[in-house]
Every structure is written in C-alpha cells, then in structure tokens.
C-alpha cells in the first residue's frame, strides 16, 4: 500500500442535493401528493407526509449539518405548485420562504443551485395533461421567469428540468419498471400511463420548456448559468460476446442517454420511430451539464419483450455488489465513463446527483471513496468538473419506493424527525473540509479499499 493523496481543485464545489417534494412535507397541491393518496401507487401505500419537514424546522437542522460537514454548495428544488398554486396566482409567502431558504444557505457559505422542475407538477397543470402537450411551454416559462426574477439576487445557478428521461419513462412506460427487481409493487410515477409515443412527446415538450426557460432566465439575469440534470446510466451487454445483447444495450443507451443529450447540444431531437424534430431555441441553450449518475444496467436480449424496451431486459448479476433493495449495481467506473463521454460536449460539468440507498450505512463510505476517486481521475484528465452534489443530504421520500430506500448522509427518523449524521457523513465532511482523499482517511473509514485505491 502506498502513501498518497488525491487533491481536488481548491474551488471545487462540495455539497449534496435534495428535491422539494422529497423533503418539504405537506406539499399538498401537486400531482405527486394526489398520486400518493391512491392505494397501490406507492410501495406499501406509504406517504410523503411531513417528509423531512423542510417547510418547517427540518430545513435549518439539516443545513446546520451541511455547514458542519463543510459543504460549499447545495442543490435544492423549488415547487411550482407552491409558487403558482393556481394559474396566474402567485403565492408571495411561498416565494418569501424560498428567499429565506436561499439566504440561510448563503449565510452558511453554501452556494445554492436551484432546480425549477423536479418531477412534480401543480395540480392545475397535471389536470391539463402536463408535459403531454405544448400548452405547458408558456406556462412553464412564465413560472420560471417569476421564480428567477424573485430569487436572482440569491442564486445564479439554475437547473431547468431534472431528468426528462426518467420523468418520461417512469410516468409513461410501465414495463421499464419491471426490468429491475424493485421491491415496490410498481415504480410508476404519475400520470401512470402506458404509451411509448407519449413518452417521446413528453421529452420533446420538456426540451421546448428548457429552451424557453433558458432564454427567459438569461434575459432576466445575463450572468446566469443554466443547465439540465441528465440521468445517465451505463448499459452494458449482459453477455459481452453476444451480438443480440450488445445490440439491445446499444439501443437502450441511444434511447435513454444519447437522444436527449444530443438534442440538448444540437437542437435536433431524433425522436425514436419518428421524424427528427428541430426544437426552436434549443441549440446552444446549455451553459453546463448536470450529470446524475447511479448505476449500470446489464442488458440481455429477450424475445418476449418486442415493443417497450426493444427486446432488451435488464438482469442482475448475482456476483456483483448491490445497494439496498437491489436498487442497482455499485459501479464506480461508470461515473468515469460518463464523465469521459460528456467531455466531448465541451461543456462544464456538475455532478448534480450520485449516491445509493444504504440504510445501515455499511456501503456508503466505500461508495463515496470509490466514486470520488473516479471524479478525481477525470479531473486529472482535464475534464472540467466543477462540483459534486451527493444524493442526498438527508433521508427523504423516495417517490414510489417512499421510505424503503434511505439515501441520506443524515439519518432521519421520519416519525420523530430526529436526525443523526451517519458515519459516511463524517467521512464526506472530512473530504469537503480538506479537499483531499488520502490513505489515512481510507484507512480510517474503509480499510478494505486501501490496496484498490492506493496500489503499489
Ligand atoms: C433520481 C432523482 C432523485 C432521487 C434519486 C434517487 O433519479 O432525480 O429525485 O429520487 O434518483
């Protein structure tokens, strides 16, 4: 084992990420809250309820932990349904609350990155088919302009839309959910439809919404940096030598990763099974790329699934390490592979999400060290990575999996709202404060990794 230190750049941003509906609580006016009320939608019919009470006291308490860990950045989302509860009606108290939250971050030396849409829609938008029609584009642009105008003295780093691909797949392609053996009865998001065609339409409209928002934000704030948080998964053939598996993995990659990214860069949406569409204002409407990376899927040819996932089925390799609930393979190299791929775009990159469900925290320390090592390697190859936001700061309402999966650096008791920093949070704090990973740290938190991380 060698003695060595991995240095991160001094201005590298360290933080964590959260989303409004997952942490705020009593978020009653959006489509997710409504979705939770119908039995069968959420695993064991759990509810978001008070969540992590960020609309109350929980926010400040978690932020204190973030400050204690030495975070210099935080990615949060604001809730459209709170800001515009009815069409054209602005809730100034909600806006003031977000102003307060952003100021509270700044006071602690934490720079906010604000996501304007993270999965949930106001009820009035959902009732009008949300992203299924182009009608939403001007509504979204108006909301974004109002929000940015109200918050622009406190934030200049914006994510317009979180994971258009996940939103479209989880809400419109039920078969996809069954491909990975989740514990939940279904991984469906609202509106829970079954139409691949609508999924592609939704993505196209989100791209339109992004382009409109990008333009609107820059008009209000010329110095703004505006991006999208893009979920990217590695798709590898389950049997590397099998031509059909390779073909299916290639297809999944095109559908899930490539098409959206390519549209964001070129303005051309190569709608699968359709004619290419040029989206007005999209080309060049990207100041940075947000990468949400979690896992890899191994794809196997399956003749019984001709339509929804084009003969490809994801399989779990019993020999690879998995996170809780078979959420996914722990595959740090995938982060490096995705960063390498994004390098070609020439855009600055923020890792806007990366994490794992791990209630007893026996995997998270090693996860952090191995994934951050890949980030460090990529930085050393001059890939412009500006910061890392771990998902998540605190245990939160994990959508259809509700409280089954615990992603937090802070452990939350949902009933009592008590919290405690996990050991992985202590480790992450050391890394954030010092900006380095060295053999001493690895020895202390994950000694089994010493030879892997510092060979020689
Ligand atoms: C991402 C979502 C985020 C969280 C993590 C685990 O796809 O953006 O809200 O649920 O997965």
- Region 49-60 average pLDDT: 98
Each residue of 213-240: pLDDT tens digit?
A: 999 999 999 999 999 999 999 999 999 9
The predicted pLDDT at position 1 comes to 59
The predicted pLDDT at position 188 comes to 86
Is the confidence at residue 178, as pLDDT, over 60?
A: no
Q: What is the percent of the chain where pLDDT is above 90?
A: 89
299 burial via Cβ count (<10 Å: 0-12, 13-18, 19+): buried
The predicted pLDDT at position 126 comes to 98
- Measured in degrees and rounded to the nearest 5, phi and psi for residue 369 equal -65, -45
Ligand 1 probe mutation, 398, 404, 408, most atoms within 8 A of CB: 398
Neighbouring C-beta atoms of residue 304, cutoff 10 Å: 6
Q: C-alpha distances in angstroms, 335 versus 12, 31, 371, 384, 433?
A: 17, 32, 7, 14, 23
The predicted pLDDT at position 179 comes to 38
Q: How far is the CA of 214 from the centre of ligand 1 (A)?
A: 23
What's the chain's length in residues? 456
Least confident among 6-10, 182-186, 412-416: 182-186
The predicted pLDDT at position 3 comes to 84
Residue 385 CA to its chain's centroid (Å): 16
- Ligand 1 surroundings by CB, under 6 angstroms: 19, 22, 162-163, 166, 231, 292, 353, 391, 398-399, 407
Q: What is the dihedral of CA 208, 209, 215, 220, to 10 degrees?
A: 170
Element spanning 292, H or E:
strand 288-301
Cα(54)–Cα(60) distance, rounded to whole angstroms?
Answer: 8
Q: Is 129 helix (H, G, I), strand (E, B) or coil?
A: coil
Bridge pairing between strands 410-412 and 385-391: unpaired
Q: How far is the CA of 106 from the centre of ligand 1 (A)?
A: 25
Q: What is the mean pLDDT of the chain?
A: 94
Each residue of 63-119: pLDDT tens digit?
A: 999 999 999 999 999 999 999 999 999 999 999 999 999 999 999 999 999 999 999
Is the confidence at residue 177, as pLDDT, over 80?
A: no
Cα(69)–Cα(18) distance, rounded to whole angstroms?
Answer: 16
The predicted pLDDT at position 317 comes to 84
The predicted pLDDT at position 307 comes to 58
- Region 323-331 average pLDDT: 93
Which fold does the domain 5-234+323-453 belong to in CATH? Answer: TIM Barrel (3.20.20)
- Region 193-206 average pLDDT: 94
Residue 308: which pLDDT band, with cuts at 50, 70 and 90? low
Q: Is 328 helix (H, G, I), strand (E, B) or coil?
A: coil
2 burial via Cβ count (<10 Å: 0-12, 13-18, 19+): exposed
Q: Among 417, 371, 377, which Cα is nearest to 390's?
A: 371
Q: What is the atom index within ligand 1 of the atom nearest the CA of 229?
A: 8
258 burial via Cβ count (<10 Å: 0-12, 13-18, 19+): middle
The predicted pLDDT at position 341 comes to 98
The predicted pLDDT at position 441 comes to 97
- Region 377-389 average pLDDT: 98
Cα(367)–Cα(8) distance, rounded to whole angstroms?
Answer: 17
Q: How far is the CA of 202 from the centre of ligand 1 (A)?
A: 18
Cα(102)–Cα(349) distance, rounded to whole angstroms?
Answer: 22
Q: What is the atom index within ligand 1 of the atom nearest the CA of 399?
A: 10
Residue 206 CA to its chain's centroid (Å): 16
The predicted pLDDT at position 229 comes to 98
Cα(179)–Cα(443) distance, rounded to whole angstroms?
Answer: 38
Is the confidence at residue 306, as pLDDT, over 90?
A: no
Cα(109)–Cα(13) distance, rounded to whole angstroms?
Answer: 11
Q: What is the percent of the chain where pLDDT is above 70?
A: 96
Cα(107)–Cα(400) distance, rounded to whole angstroms?
Answer: 35
Is the confidence at residue 252, as pLDDT, over 60?
A: yes
The predicted pLDDT at position 121 comes to 98
Q: Is 12 left (phi over 0), alpha (psi -120 to 50) or beta?
A: beta
Answer whether 276's CB lies under 8 Å from 200's CB. Answer: no
Is the confidence at residue 276, as pLDDT, over 80?
A: yes
Ligand 1 probe mutation, 52, 231, 399, 405, most atoms within 8 A of CB: 399
Bridge pairing between strands 5-7 and 436-438: antiparallel
Q: Is 399 left (phi over 0), alpha (psi -120 to 50) or beta?
A: left
């Amino acid at each position: 084992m060698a003695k060595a230190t991995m240095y991160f750049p001094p201005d590298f941003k360290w933080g964590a990420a959260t989303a409004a509906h997952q942490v705020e609580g009593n978020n009653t006016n959006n489509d997710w809250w409504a979705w939770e009320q119908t039995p069968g939608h959420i695993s064991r019919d759990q509810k978001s309820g008070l969540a992590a009470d960020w609309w109350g006291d929980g926010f400040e308490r978690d932020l204190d932990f973030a400050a204690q860990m030495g975070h210099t950045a935080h990615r949060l989302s604001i809730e459209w349904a709170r800001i515009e509860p009815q069409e054209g009606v602005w809730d100034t108290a909600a806006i003031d609350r977000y102003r307060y939250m952003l100021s509270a971050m700044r006071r602690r030396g934490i720079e906010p990155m604000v996501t304007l849409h993270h999965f949930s829609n106001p009820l009035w938008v959902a009732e009008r088919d949300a992203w299924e029609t182009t009608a939403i584009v001007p509504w979204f642009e108006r909301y974004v302009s109002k929000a940015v105008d109200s918050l622009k003295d406190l934030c200049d780093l914006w994510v317009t839309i979180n994971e258009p691909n996940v939103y479209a797949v989880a809400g419109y392609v039920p078969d996809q959910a069954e491909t990975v053996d989740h514990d939940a009865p279904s991984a469906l998001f609202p509106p829970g439809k079954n139409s691949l065609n609508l999924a592609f339409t939704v993505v196209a409209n989100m791209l339109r919404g992004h382009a409109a928002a990008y333009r609107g934000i820059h008009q209000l704030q010329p110095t703004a940096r505006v991006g999208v948080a893009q979920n990217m998964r590695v798709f590898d053939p389950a049997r590397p030598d099998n031509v059909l598996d390779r073909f299916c993995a290639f297809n999944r990659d095109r559908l899930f990763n490539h098409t959206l990214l390519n549209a964001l860069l070129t303005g051309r949406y190569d709608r699968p099974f359709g004619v290419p569409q040029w989206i007005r204002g999209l080309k060049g409407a990207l100041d940075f790329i947000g990468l949400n990376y979690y896992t890899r899927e191994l794809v196997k040819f399956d003749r019984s699934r001709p339509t929804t996932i084009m003969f490809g089925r994801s399989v779990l390799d019993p020999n690879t390490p998995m996170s809780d609930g078979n959420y996914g393979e722990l595959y740090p190299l995938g982060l490096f592979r995705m960063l390498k791929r994004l390098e070609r775009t020439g855009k600055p990159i923020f890792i806007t999400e990366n994490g794992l469900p791990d209630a007893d925290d026996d995997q998270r320390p090693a996860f952090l060290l191995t994934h951050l090592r890949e980030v460090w390697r990529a930085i050393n190859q001059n890939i412009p990575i500006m910061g890392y936001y771990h998902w998540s700061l605190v245990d939160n309402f994990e959508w259809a999996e509700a409280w089954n999966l615990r992603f937090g650096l802070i452990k939350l008791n949902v009933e009592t709202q008590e919290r405690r920093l996990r050991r992985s949070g202590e480790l992450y704090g050391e890394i954030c404060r010092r900006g380095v990973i060295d053999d001493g740290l690895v020895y202390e938190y994950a000694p089994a990794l010493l030879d892997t991380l510092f060979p020689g």
